[in-house]
Amino acid sequence: MLLNVVKSTVLVALTTCVLNAGEFNAQAEIDRIALADYTIAKFKDADKNRDRFFPYSTDSELKTNIKKDVSFDELRMGNYAFSLQGQFSYNEINEMPPYEELVEKGEEIYNSNKALRKCFPDVTVGGNYPYFDEKKKEVVSLTSKINECLTNDGQKAWNQKKGKMPIFQSYIASQTKDAEKKVDIKISSADASAAYERGKEYYYTQRGYLNLSCATCHIQGAGKRVRNESLSQLSGQTTHFPVYRLKWGVGKVENGLGTLERRMAGCIKDQGQVPPKTDSKEMKELLYFMAYMSNEMNVDGPDVRK
């Protein structure tokens, strides 16, 4: 569906954002702008636009739960950008966020690990990952960069989904947020552009026994309800990681924090697919595409989700 939107908004995008045809991120910028425009239009007035975007939603849901006039900046909040009921519980939880003590542990890990301090002299870099390494010709995620730093120093690699990894990442995200930095993903070569396109293809490809794609739920389905939750939108989806999920934290608080790789693996399983390995080329390029779609948004992590 978004591909059709992209085609129909190319001229508009090109008039609102001056693009050099020789720039390697030209198509990615067209995609990003079209996605943001589509999402903002979707939540301009859900009740008024029900025939276009919400044909199966109830009157009550459209009138009392979906906020009108959601702004570009608010999209970084995921489904709390538009869900009025969700915002209420979200604000209550964040009065005493369950991840707060874990951010402090992340700082302790950083201060006690010389290799990490050397690899990350500036910890306000949460919005710069994943990036495309022009020498290695591959996407480098924050998770893979941290483990590379550890193993190069003779230390054991961390679990890529939970434990020390998201705890340390929560410190980086928190520092990036406090510095008021934005997501800033670069596409500076033909190889980087190709990696972005492969990530985009993965996001839009229907697969698995349910024949779903990521886009089915998070572009066409954004704002629609699945059981008791509203599906979040792709725009802004990576800004708030690592995330503390209440269901993950049952029994042990530290398990509540998870990396973006952990969340994506679980989401892909829910689609009836076998997810790519967390350190695979497919996963890294998928995250590269997703992160680019959040460019120019403030880093908002760590955050809490149900």
β-pairing verdict for 303-305 and 131-133: unpaired
Q: Quote the CA–CA distance of 44 and 65 in Å, as a whole number.
A: 13
Give the full edge-to-edge strand order of the sheet including 257-258.
257-258, 243-245, 303-305
Helices (H), the chain: 2-16, 26-42, 50-53, 59-64, 84-93, 100-112, 114-119, 142-152, 164-178, 190-204, 214-215, 260-270, 281-292
Q: How many CB atoms lie within 10 A of CB 226?
A: 10
What end-to-end distance do the CA atoms of the chain give, in Å?
A: 28
Q: Would you call 267 a catalytic residue per the annotation?
A: yes
Rounded (10°) CA dihedral 271, 255, 78, 7: -40
Catalytic residue among 17, 214, 217, 267: 267
Contact 301, 174 (CB under 8 A): yes
Helices (H) and strands (E) in the chain, counts: 13, 7
Report d(CA 118, CA 129) in Å as an integer. Answer: 17
| Main-chain phi, psi angles of 296, to 5 degrees | 75, 5
Which residue numbers are catalytic?
A: 267
